[in-house]
Structure 1
């Protein structure tokens, strides 16, 4: 059973969510509402929804939960950028881009992030790994997924 999150529409958002794949849907719904409130075009909303889904899926698949069995998803406006962060308890390796072939069944998540983001980086500490992604909120200068893949 899913419950809808009531994320604030003003200011930064911070969501502590269960470490399950269902959390990706909750993030998508809250993020879309926030971006629409801020007047972002649908193309930016689609890109942000895809990036958020990839980051949450990668956390669930490749990392451990935070100490309280959750993952943390945050976003805020920084100048003209949406800064989206997903934090988890870290995994055996750091998130890195992989070279994949057309026959590969996985490994495209960070390539999608790389294609859509203005920039992104990973921050690692002993107990928390966070991926930070910057997307243009108005779509200006935004890379295109079609052009990159």
Structure 2
């Protein structure tokens, strides 16, 4: 499977659910294993939630969510208008109410990072893709290679 999508979303909490539904539907329709879909959707949700919590919208007043699927990986990204601080994984205490989003992304994703463009900041993550094998057992392909998301 090779597919990609770019979705412009309102700068609003309801956008997280809308993005989750669209991404999940596309990946499942493409035949990806449910476990991989769950991981990719969780990563995208954390990136989008962090953007809404810590960053400004793009000049259009929206956020851009994108994903690219290949045979061995899915890259998801969220672009916003940037924030006063650089996105980084925190190390919250057990009693902390927040601060776990990028730690979750770091745990699930093979890699993640931040790109700065003219008026936007993009946080991206790459998750290894798993597809059902012909005998019904999950098949995971080779080492993912980084691909830029426009």
Matched with 1:146 is none
Write the mapping of 1:38-77 to structure 2, written as runs, cut at 5 A: 38-77=30-69
Stretch deviating more after TM superposition (88-97 or 47-56): 47-56
Write the mapping of 1:56-135 to structure 2, written as runs, cut at 5 A: 56-135=48-127
* Structure 2 residues not aligned, in runs of 5+: 131-139, 144-150
Runs of 4+ in 1 over 3 A off after TM superposition: 139-142
1:136 and 1:10 map into 2 onto residues whose CA distance is 14
TM-score (norm 1): 0.84
* Structure 1 residues not aligned, in runs of 5+: 1-8, 143-149
How many residue pairs match? The answer is 134
Shift of 1:42: 1.0
Q: What's the secondary structure of 2:63's corresponding residue?
A: strand
Give the CA RMSD over aligned residues.
Answer: 1.9
1:28 and 1:112 map into 2 onto residues whose CA distance is 16
| Contact map agreement 1:21 1:56 (CA 8 A) in 2 | no
Shift of 1:78: 3.7
Matched with 1:4 is none
TM-score (norm 2): 0.83
- Per-residue displacement from partner, 1:99-144 (whole Å, max 9, x unpaired)? 11101111000000000001111112342000111011205689xx
- Per-residue displacement from partner, 1:72-107 (whole Å, max 9, x unpaired)? 000011441101010000000110011111011110
1:141 and 1:133 map into 2 onto residues whose CA distance is 17
